[in-house]
Amino acid sequence: MATLICGSLAFDTIMDFEGRFAQQILPEQLHILNVSFLVPHLRRDFGGCAGNIAYAMRALGGEPLPMAVVGGDGADYLQRLRALGIGTDHVLQLADTYTAQAMIMTDRDNNQITAFHPGAMMQAHRQRVPARADIRLGIVSPDGREAMLQHAEQFHAAGIPFVFDPGQGLPMFDGMELNHFVDLADWITVNDYEGRMLCDRTGAELGALSWRVRGLIVTLGGDGCELWENGVRRHVPAEPPTQVVDPTGCGDAWRGALLYGLERGWDLARCAALGNRLGALKIATRGPQNYVVDAALRA
């Protein structure tokens, strides 16, 4: 059984500013803003929602199939996926554009300034959910707007149950479109802020939305997560991390664990508990795809 992961593959450039943005930016001069930040520490990571989720699933022993688009600079990413045992049959490479890039600068207070270039991701609608008998599960994670709309329709038409994970792409959709996603999906995952926005735009509370899907999950960071099934809320406590190093990719690790459990027919509470454990493991490691999973974690 394979899981099709619709979303982005991206390169994350992470820069650490050792001062505070607030000390460098004068509020009364924002209309003529011209600042430069010295960033002595820089690293480049493999990222993007589809890549991070696939990494988590594969590390647990699942069968992820990312469906995404990379640019002419994406050869290293394709090679990495194959080395991890992750199939790239449904990753399209376009020579005339760049792979999506996120440039993230963090100050000493963990405030962040991010610039995101979508690049090849904007062509993700050129990919279609394939007709493969082994694909029994899917996820629509943040991607190009048209791709998210079309891939949700294609999963539903093919009878493939899928998770709707709008993430940072949620603001692209109005209430009518989000209600349509809910009607097509089998499960929904959002963080606390996204959950509030989803309710505001659809005009429905979480409990009411949960009657329309098989399960709705709200991740709460260090407070664990809450599950909604048929209007009933349950809380799944967090797993305390050994240390807090880098939160980048924690949500994607959680979703990889969710899909791993759903592949195996687990109930949502068991899936969520594994997600909390994997999130705690990831946050103790720099980068979204550098943590190592041992067999005991999957139990």
Residues assigned a catalytic role? 252
The answer to whether residue 249 sits within a structural domain is: yes
Predicted confidence (pLDDT) at residue 11 exceeds the cutoff of 80: yes
pLDDT at 191: 94
Mean pLDDT score, 182-191? 98
pLDDT over 80 at 30, yes or no: no
Q: Is 149 a residue whose pLDDT tops 80?
A: yes
Mean pLDDT of the region 220-228: 94
Is 296 part of a structural domain of the chain? no
Q: What is the pLDDT of residue 101?
A: 93
Please say if the pLDDT value at position 25 is more than 70: yes
Of residues 221 and 141, more confidently modeled: 141
- The pLDDT, as a whole number, for residue 299 is 60
**What CA–CA distance (Å, rounded) separates 273 from 282?**
14
CATH code of the domain covering residue 134: 3.40.1190.20
| Number of structural domains in the chain | 1
* pLDDT over 70 percentage in the chain: 99
- Within a domain: 95: no
Is-contact 99 119, C-beta < 8 A?
Answer: yes
Q: What is the pLDDT of residue 298?
A: 66
Q: What is the mean pLDDT of residues 14-36?
A: 84
- Counting residues of the chain whose pLDDT is more than 90, the rounded percentage is 79
Angstrom CA distances, 250 to 47, 56, 147, 203, 286, stand at 12, 10, 24, 29, 11
145 inside domain: yes
The predicted-structure confidence for 95-137, as pLDDT tens digits, reads as follows: 999 999 988 888 888 678 888 899 999 999 999 999 899 999 9
pLDDT of residue 245: 83
Q: Does residue 104 lie within any of the structural domains? A: no
Residue 170 lies in a domain: yes
**Domain housing 232:** 2-8+49-88+129-291
pLDDT value at 264 more than 80: yes
Q: What is the mean pLDDT of the chain?
A: 93
